[in-house]
Amino acid sequence: MVSAVVFIPLCAALILLFIPREEEEITRRVAFGATVLTFLLSLLLLVEFQSDTADFQFVERFSWIEDFGIQYAVGIDGISLFLVLLTTLLMPLVILSSWDDIHKRVKEYLFFFLLLETGMIGTFVALDLFLFYVFWEVVLIPMSFLIGIWGGPRRIYAALKFLLYTMVGSLLMLVAILYLAYLHHAQYGTVTFDLLQLHKLTIPPETQIWLFAAFALSFAIKVPLFPLHTWLPDAHVEAPTGGSVILAGVLLKMGTYGFLRFAMPLFPAAAHAAVPVIMALAVIGIIYGALVAMVQPDLKKLVAYSSVSHLGFVMLGLFAFNVEGVEGALYQMLNHGLSTGALFFLVGVIYERRHTRLISDYGGLWKQVPVYAAVFLVVLLSSIGLPGLNGFVGEFLILLGAFGANPWAGVLGVSGVVLGAVYMLWMYQRVMFGPLRHVENTKLTDLSRREVAVFVPLLALMLVMGMYPKPFLIRMEKSVEATLARIQLARPLPDPTTPGVERAGDRDAIQEVSHSATD
């Protein structure tokens, strides 16, 4: 069933090839139908998902290249379930929104998007490192095409930068994967890339360090973590609306997912050693992203830098190494997907009408397009983490977890909450409030029926995830605890110098958590 979810978009993409180029309407319908079908199937996964076990469900496994010990192994657990759902949810919306704004070479556009969807879902469900790597790379190509062909003026620079930047990281990860397989061969006699087998490896700490470094570099570029983020604003600014939504909504999560699924459990000792560095970078990322976002003249760049800040939060949560922080991070990944995805849709809406992204070209839109302004306000509030909406639950858990792990990280992280409000509201005021200065704005038409259809599911989810997050958190609980138990077992002796209010209380909590996970 999982493979069906992965490969339906691919089949639809191939079907698209045979539809003649002029039949745009049919191509769009086929693509939309395929993505909706995938979404329904993934809902089926959600329904049948048991939240009381930590191990993988719906596992499908058959051998692919026996000589290398490579299997086609896919499966879902608490961590990857909602990320798959996020992907399958955003895709139909993207295709729906492209009905209005993409008119040249529609067939290729939809083809690349469907290919992209297969790559993304594959990355989240792959249990075999080789398969994961294949899907990880496969995602790059369609995305670069999308940015390169339908993008803005500097699209080629942005596409190439995105491709090469991510490729450097991922290729180094390939060498690390190969070394892992070799280690398994050395220790157990057989070469395998299966994640569960590789969990059994005992890797000496020094080798763990550089293996973790290789994985971490690749994922950090994707997240993006602070110093490696400069590709994001370019890619976002130049990408078409649908591209930006998926880039921000899902692709960034592949990095954080990679950390949680591969880098941390496979190399626990190294993960612990890396905590101070990554937490520092995450905090810098939060503040840096917020500050730079504040002064951006271009709407899309502002949202791009806000993603740097939000993902900084997610990394902070991940590396707090306690259940609250990690669950908060996972939850925030979903929230960010919804809120930033919606933000890019919103920017796309006015970009389609005015063909400019400069904040100074707008002003006083509320009077002209009240429904649009209201939707924008709700999405904005979810993005800055207003309680009652989904952003708050994620941010609160992350900061709670981070504070528990290292109070100073919590304190600096909280500043991100304030800065977030600053740049978002300042932008909102310059765009929505004030008098209608530019005459072109008076001709703006409010949201069309189709555009509203794109926002309704997103807004509804934001509200539901804010008011009643329990069903989501429950399903994540077991898998997160199991992963954390794996990491904590390799925890170095907590030297008293590191501040960590939760040291005492944490240990007994971990004991009973690890019992529940291992027995």
Partner 1 sequence: MEHSHAALATVHAVSYLRFIVLFPLLGVLFNIFAGPRVGRRAINLVSPGVVLLSFFFSFAALLQLPPGGALVDTVYTWITAGRLQVDFALRVDPLSATMILIVTGVGFLIHVYSTGYMAHDEDVARYFAYLNLFTASMLLLVLGDNLLLLFVGWEGVGLCSYLLIGFWYTDDEKASAGKKAFIVNRIGDAGFLLGIFLLFWSLGAKGVWTLSFAEIQTHAGLLAVETVTVICLLLFVGATGKSAQIPLYVWLPDAMAGPTPVSALIHAATMVTAGIYMIARLHFLYSMAPTALAVVAIVGALTAFFAATIALVQTDIKRVLAYSTVSQLGYMFLGLGVGAYSAGVFHLMTHAFFKALLFLGAGSVIHAMSDEQDIRRMGGLKTKMPITYGTFLVACLAIAGFPGLSGFFSKDLILEETVASPHGSVVLWLIGTLTAGLTAFYMFRLLFVTFWGETRAPHEVAHHIHESPTVMTMPLVLLAVLSFIGGYFTLVPFLAPVFGGHHPAHVSALVKYLPTVAGLAGIGLAYQMYVRDPAMAERVAQRYAAVYRLLLNKYYVDELYDRFVVQPVVAASQWLWRVWDTVIIDGTVNGTAQTVAANGLLLRLWQTGNVQVYALSFLLGAMVILGYYLW
Partner 2 sequence: MITPPPVNWLSLLPGLILTVTGLLILFWDLWMKPEERRLLAWLGFIGFVAAGIVSVLLWGRNESAFNGMLALDAYALFFNVIFCVVGAMTILMSVHYLETVEIQPGEYYALLLFATVGMVVMAAATDLIVIFLGLETMSIAVYVLAGMWIRRLQSSEAALKYFLLGAFASGFFLYGIALLYGATGSVQLDKIATAATTGGVSSLFLVGIALLIVGFGFKVAAAPFHVWTPDVYEGAPTTVTAFMAVGVKAAAFAAFARVFLHTFGSLHAEWEGILWVLAVLTMTVGNITALVQRNIKRMLAYSSIAHAGYLLIAMVAGRDLGGAALLYYLVAYGVMTLGAFGVVLAVGRQGEPNEEVSDYIGLGLRYPVLGAAMTVFMLSLTGVPPLVGFTGKFYIFSAAVQAGYIWLAVLGVLNSVISAYYYIRVVVNMYMYEEGGKTIEALSARPALVTAILLAAVATVFMGVFPSASISLAKESFLPPG
Residue whose CB is less far from partner 1, 137 or 298:
298
Nearest to 400, CA basis, from 411, 416, 415, 389: 411
Closer residue to partner 1 in complex, CB, 40/467:
467
> Does 295 participate in binding partner 1 (rule CB under 8 A)?
yes
* Cβ atoms 345, 454 nearer than 8 A: yes
User: Which of 9, 328, 341, 348 is close enough to bind partner 1 by CB under 8 A?
Assistant: 328
Dist CA 55 CA 219 (whole Å): 23
366 binds, options partner 1, partner 2, none, Cβ within 5 to 8 A by partner type: partner 1
Task: For residue 144, state whether it binds partner 2 (rule: CB under 8 A).
Answer: yes
Residues 304-323 that bind partner 1 (CB under 8 A): 322-323
* The two structure tokens encoding residue 422: 């600053």
Q: Please state, in angstroms and rounded to a whole number, the distance separating the CA atoms of residues 201 and 183.
A: 8
Site for partner 1 in 403-432 (CB under 8 A): 403-404, 407, 410-411, 414-415, 417-418, 421-422, 425-426, 429, 432
Binding partner of 4, given partner 1, partner 2, none, CB within 5-8 angstroms per partner class: none
Residue identified by tokens 């998902």 is 49
CA atoms of 277 and 436, how far apart (whole Å): 47
CB of 185 to partner 2, least distance (A): 7
For partner 1, the closer of residues 65 and 501 by Cβ is 501
Quick one: which of 145, 226, 345, 472 contacts partner 2 (CB under 8 A)?
145
Using CB under 8 A as the binding rule, whether residue 203 contacts partner 2 is answered as: no
71 forms bridges with which residues in the sheet? 63
Which H helix or E strand runs over 62? strand 57-65
Helix (H, G, I), strand (E, B) or coil at 130: helix
Q: Is 154 in the site for partner 2 (CB under 8 A)?
A: no
Cα separation, 419 vs 391, in Å, equals 15
Number of residues that bind partner 1 (CB under 8 A): 65
DSSP-assigned states of every residue in 8-67: HHHHHHHHHHHS-TT-HHHHHHHHHHHHHHHHHHHHHHHHH--TT--S-EEEEEEEEEGG
CA 218/CA 152 separation, integer angstroms:
27
Q: What is the H or E stretch that residue 57 is in?
A: strand 57-65
Residue 27: CB atoms within 10 Å: 21
Q: Of these partners, partner 1, partner 2, none, which one is at the site of residue 417 (CB under 5 to 8 Å by kind)?
A: partner 1
Q: Is the CB of 153 or the CB of 204 nearer to partner 1?
A: 153
Alpha-helical segments (H) within 319-389: 323-354, 365-368, 370-383
Q: Does 68 bind partner 2 (CB under 8 A)?
A: yes
Decide which of partner 1, partner 2, none touches 137; Cβ closer than 5 to 8 Å per partner kind. partner 2
| Torsion angles phi and psi, residue 61, rounded to 5 | -140, 120
Give the footprint of partner 2 on residues 176-195 (CB under 8 A): 178-179, 181-182, 185, 191
Q: Which residues bind partner 1 (CB under 8 A)?
A: 161, 164-165, 227, 229-231, 288, 291-292, 294-296, 322-324, 327-328, 364, 366-367, 381, 386-388, 392-393, 396-397, 399-401, 403-404, 407, 410-411, 414-415, 417-418, 421-422, 425-426, 429, 432-435, 467-470, 473-474, 477, 481, 501-505, 508-509
